[in-house]
Amino acid sequence: MDQSSPQSSWSTTMARLSSKAGVVATVVIDSSLGSVIQTSGHYSISHSKSSQSANSARPATENGLGQLATGSSDLEELAAMVWKYVKSTEALIADIDSEDEIKLLRLRTRKHELVIAPDPKYILVVVHEISGV
């Protein structure tokens, strides 16, 4: 029987995923709280002028998870957005069929693809860079 801790399991999985071609970042999020458990890699969020002015109108003390936003990294900000996206999608699926659940989400933009694997305890996010951009 394997006695490895969840932490070592994440580290092994994240190291393996991070070594794959095109992977720029990985994030493990606590499903219930939305807090970041572990990150690897780097991801930059570029805010447009309109979103910067909208963000400046909001208090800078909270990031939507009840945590201080000052000094938060782009990966932490991405994790907060992904957590909200997963929770909204879970609500949508529950409204469609209360006996169904999300297994995998793929979100593709011109620059990146996010593969999101929700679990009752954790949410794993892998960010791929789209080649040829």
* Nearest Cα residue to 105 out of 63, 88, 121: 88
pLDDT the model gives residue 13:
74
Domains, the chain, in order of start with CATH, read 6-129 (3.30.450.30)
Tell me what the mean pLDDT of segment 75-94 comes to.
96
Q: Which residues contact 73 (CB under 8 A, 6 or more apart)?
A: 39
Confidence of residue 54 (pLDDT cuts 50, 70, 90): very low
Confidence of residue 17 (pLDDT cuts 50, 70, 90): confident
Whether this model's pTM surpasses 0.85: no
Sign for the CA dihedral angle at 126, 19, 23, 35 comes to: positive
